Amino acid sequence: MAQLKKKYVDINDTLRHIRLQVKEGITWALQNVPYCINPVDLYYWMRIRTKYVLDPDGVELLQSADTMMTDANYHGITGAGDCDCFSILTLTALNAQKFKGKPWIKLAGRSKSNPVHIWAGIDYKGEEIAMDLTNKKCGEERSYPYVQKIYFNYL
């Protein structure tokens, strides 16, 4: 189980730690995430099990799937986290499912240098599927002036 609670440094630091958190949660996902036929089914399995909660003030909180989805959750609520925790869960679950596709994250914001939102998804069977667990429906993406898509290779 892994949880990183620290002062925000920059997006590159956060991305490095997201990768580590994904790796940390793979065993949990292989044992606890049921087989899903496609990424859309996986999205809805995760969506009903998550609850959006802000990070503590002045802190970047990153939780691996095996922390966020258990009673070890920082907030004391199984499945509670924010957009980066949800992205970690999604990338971890996608990795465990081994879908034939290219997983990615999107960083979005009102300026190029300061992203305010992150979500994960996958290019699957010729279609881009956004899996933003802060939205009610799979495939939904909020509009931001600046969006950067970064492919996230399976570990």
The closest of 150, 101, 98 to 127, measured between CA atoms, is 101
Total number of domains constituting the chain: 1
Mean of per-residue pLDDT scores for the chain: 92
100: its two tokens: 């034939």
The whole-number average pLDDT for the span 76-85 is 97
Does residue 5 have a pLDDT over 90?
no
The whole-number average pLDDT for the span 117-132 is 97
CATH number, position 146: 3.10.620
pLDDT in tens, 96-116: 999 999 999 999 999 888 899
The closest of 64, 56, 62, 55 to 26, measured between CA atoms, is 64
Determine if the pTM surpasses 0.85: yes
Range of the domain at 101: 3-151
Q: pLDDT value at position 60?
A: 87
Q: pLDDT value at position 80?
A: 98
